Structure 1
Amino acid sequence: MTEQLNIVGGGMAGSEAAWQAAQAGIDVVIHEMRPKVGTFAHKTGDLAEMVCSNSFRSDDSEQSAVGLLHWEMRAANGLIMEMADAHALPAGGALAVDRDPFARAVTERLRNHPRITIREGEITELPKDGHWIVATGPLTSGALAESIRAETGTQALAFFDAIAPIVYADSIDMTVAWMQSRYDKGETEEEQKAYLNCPMNKAQYEAFIDALLAADKTEFHEGETAKYFDGCLPIEVMAERGRETLRHGPMKPVGLTNAHKPDEKAYAVVQLRRDNALGTLFNIVGFQTKMKYGAQTDVFRMIPGLENASFARLGGIHRNTFLNSPTLLDAHMRLKSRPNIRFAGQVTGVEGYVESAAMGLLAGRLAAAELQGATLPPPPPETAMGALIHHITGGAEAKTFQPMNVNFGLFPPVDLKGGRRNRPARYKAYTDRAKAAWQGWLAMQGDAVPA
């Protein structure tokens, strides 16, 4: 009789790992500490709850590495992508998700699976027996994190992650703001108007930067060093790098025309993205922050159109932890000192919802094959998933290892005439090669592959 697989953590990675293993015929138990034990960032007890953002980023599988990752997960019948597609919101070429219905749908599918059991309660130490996947994410509980540190003999690396605020739509002044995706990107009118835009002139921008720099901010405990993942930099940290940094980052005004004043070019633009299907909530894009709550309301109401903004959630900052995976994990994501335990998701040093779910997908499939007496090789490094797993299990330099989004720099180079300058052709070559390699890896397991 095949042993069961235990999964610690019901986030993106744990949910996907459970689904993949159960679909392969393995009995799975998900151990989720919420809602009995909460975290700073989570608000519900649902599995796969989205915390920082509601975006899975670009869905372009020919020109984007993360879009290619979407494609690979769909081809592998991934639960996270299926539910994301079912609860997608217009986002101008990106895949944004109505976060609460999405999490409820993932939870329902897993609860209703005949091979999956969900047990609420905290796992406080690394188990010695049985087959396990630890997918506790960046908010691993203190007790379990201490057990991991004791086992690995090293301090887990840490960085700080920030959450962007969410605004009630009916509190936004639409005589100032307008709806438009950058460069009108999107196939439908709804997609071309997926973002809400708040313009600033130069004086407003300069005053906003001054207020950001002067605002009260969360202080770190003595001895802590703040290492931020670049994809989630607080806006104050960006502003500290130079007064024009935000204007060339999340506040860039390019590709947008003010519907109220089409002849007037904005100096900077703050964008908000719809956060739910009803269109009643919008999150401020790229505005992760470590400002204290009182300062946030004062500073964000300086944004034209948000003078009377009401906030469904203010931003925040929390400590994230991850393993030095290149030194601790083998090529099959197993802890070298305890090969009965795999790790998956952000705790392994990947960054982002999609990357976390992808590592869960791989861990679930690798564990299922092992429990069934088979040896499944990791996917080829030419694939998006293969590039990621290779990076975290040995491709990265251990001394400088930091969380990483999927990107074409992790892939083996392609030999393309015309050199590196023809970027669209180069990216298309990467994705064509990856899709063929991924189909081959799936076929090896008996999956029906996409045409």
Structure 2
Amino acid sequence: MPIRIIGAGLAGCEAAWTLANFGLDVRLYEMKPLKFSPAHQSEQLAELVCSNSLRGAGMNNAVGCLKDELRRIGSLFIEAADATEVPAGGALAVDREEFSRYISAKIAANPRIELLREEVTSLPVDGPTILASGPLTSEALSQQLVQLIGAEHLYFYDAIAPIIEADSIDLSVAWRASRYDKGGDDYINCPLSREEYEQFVSELLAADKVAGREFEKLIHFEGCMPIEEIAARGRQTLAFGPMKPVGLPDPRTGYIPYAVIQLRQDNRHASSYNLVGFQTRMTYPEQQRIFRSIPGLSNARFERLGSMHRNTFVNAPRELNPRLQLRKAPHITLAGQISGVEGYVESAACGLLAGIFVAAEQLGRSLSPPPAVTALGALLNHLQTADPNNFQPSNVNYGLFPPFEGPKIKRADRRLAMAARALEALPAWWAEVQGISNPSNHPEQH
């Protein structure tokens, strides 16, 4: 019997790819194009919604370590990212359309994966199933899950940043550079004087916002906070956050501006740029008015304006076992953001883990979890050991890893040592994973 996967986003596609590579047949369900969530627009699989950035590439950030782990164990997600990369300084960013097309083509060409374009409105009562419906799980399926686990979902709001056409940016005012010249001229920078900054903050605070529905409390994820919510925490918060000017002298004056707004390349052809850190729930007219007040963006043309959407996830420490199965329905494994991880890379990693765990069970093999010192293991451990009374989704970070044991060293060196420790521990576990089935059953991965 084929393994069912509900949802063909990052986690669902990664889980399907992983299972197929263990010689198992998969039915992958995707409701697009029959039905779209409030944030999705493309018919392609693995659509990137919030940003085209997969965050830092270096090992000083735990997400860099996680990406390297995925790269070493044949992740489809990271293969697609590497194949569709666009310049982004010290980050890994992709052409979002090419990225989705790459994964869609791989899934379509895999003989063990059957893609079904239909909405699933009820959860199977038996048979191996991976629920990877994402943070925008449909209302019908959400209600099914609520009934199954006997508790309300936790939820928070996620915000999307605007995208601007590159040739509408005034480069006689804005300039190309990365902070401290790291990464060359990958970003476009818009300078603000103190007076311009103060006026900008006032406009943000006074702007009309899209209200949440009355029965939903606005709970924002700290890593994707709307720009106006940051401004509401204090008038200087933005100047020390997403608008910090450090390392960005204005070439026209030679001085560092009071504040800087950065734009990052959003596609391979550099025809569009997104406003870095400018997720928002302002109304569309207010976004156009306020963002066009930014020096260099007075004639900005918007490919996409910012918006808000609800993210839905379960209380993982309470609802999931160590193999990501629902405790009350172990035939259902959760993958991706609905399981309680946050971020593109983390969602794909969770999909890979779900695929591995289901493959081991279907093949009748025992399998250890990834070592806790790895990024994969740290992320999984968070879902098991976080406080269930105060559970919130989390990006991978070195705070989730076991403490580094050794001589006291600088924070940056300690992080690099933790990454080295992770990559040293990974091969033995991956060899165990590869041993759960006969490699001759695997279709080609590339």
- Flag whether TM exceeds 0.5 (same fold): yes
1:439 match: secondary structure = helix
Q: What is the percentage of aligned positions where both structures have the same residue?
A: 50
Match of 1:137 in 2: 134
Deviations 1:298-346 (A, max 9, x none): 0001100001101000000011110001101000001111111100000
Structure 1 segments unaligned to the other structure (5+ residues): 187-191
Give runs of aligned pairs for residues 111-126 of structure 1, distance below 5 A. 111-126=108-123
Match of 1:54 in 2: 52
Give runs of aligned pairs for residues 10-409 of structure 1, distance below 5 A. 10-60=8-58, 62-186=59-183, 192-262=184-254, 264-392=255-383, 394-409=384-399
- 1:7 aligned to 5, 8, 17, which one? 5
Displacement after TM superposition at 1:15 (Å): 0.7
Deviations 1:264-309 (A, max 9, x none): 3200000000001111100000000000000000000110000110
Q: Structure 2 CA distance, aligned partners of 1:180 and 1:250?
A: 16
Q: Say if 2:414 is the partner of 1:416.
A: no
Deviations 1:387-415 (A, max 9, x none): 111111x2100000001000011111111
Q: Structure 1 CA distance, aligned partners of 2:253 and 2:173?
A: 9
Displacement after TM superposition at 1:125 (Å): 1.5
CA contact (8 A) 2:247 2:256 kept: no
CA contact (8 A) 1:165 1:311 kept: yes
Alignment-mate amino acid for residue 402 of structure 1:
Q
Displacement after TM superposition at 1:446 (Å): 3.2
TM-score (norm 2): 0.96
Match of 1:444 in 2: 432
Q: Structure 2 CA distance, aligned partners of 1:149 and 1:377?
A: 30
Deviations 1:219-274 (A, max 9, x none): 12223211100010000000000001111111000011212222x32000000000
Q: Structure 2 CA distance, aligned partners of 1:27 and 1:376?
A: 20
Query: Which is further off, 213-222 or 155-164?
Result: 213-222
Give the paired residue count. Answer: 436
Alignment-mate amino acid for residue 418 of structure 2:
Y
Q: Structure 2 CA distance, aligned partners of 1:375 and 1:6?
A: 21
Alignment-mate amino acid for residue 322 of structure 1:
F
2:70 match: secondary structure = helix
Could you list the runs of 4 or more consecutive aligned residues of structure 1 that deviate by over 3 angstroms after TM superposition? none
1:287 match: secondary structure = coil
Deviations 1:12-70 (A, max 9, x none): 1001011111011111111001110111111111111000000000111x322000000
1:139 match: secondary structure = coil
1:319 match: secondary structure = strand
Alignment-mate amino acid for residue 207 of structure 2:
A
Displacement after TM superposition at 1:440 (Å): 1.2
CA contact (8 A) 2:246 2:256 kept: no
Q: Structure 1 CA distance, aligned partners of 2:427 and 2:61?
A: 18
2:378 match: secondary structure = helix
Alignment-mate amino acid for residue 417 of structure 2:
A
Deviations 1:67-108 (A, max 9, x none): 000011011100000010000011111000000011011000
Q: Structure 1 CA distance, aligned partners of 2:196 and 2:180?
A: 24
Displacement after TM superposition at 1:445 (Å): 2.4
CA RMSD of aligned residues (A): 1.1
2:333 match: secondary structure = strand
Q: Structure 1 CA distance, aligned partners of 2:141 and 2:366?
A: 29
1:138 match: secondary structure = coil
1:159 match: secondary structure = strand
Q: Structure 2 CA distance, aligned partners of 1:446 and 1:403?
A: 30
Q: 1:128 and 1:88, CA in 2 relative to 1: closer, same or farther beyond 3 A?
A: same
TM-score (norm 1): 0.95
CA contact (8 A) 1:178 1:260 kept: no
Displacement after TM superposition at 1:184 (Å): 1.1
Q: Structure 1 CA distance, aligned partners of 2:33 and 2:222?
A: 30
Alignment-mate amino acid for residue 359 of structure 1:
C
Alignment-mate amino acid for residue 389 of structure 1:
L
Deviations 1:167-213 (A, max 9, x none): 00111101001110111112xxxxx1110000000000000000000
Match of 1:189 in 2: none
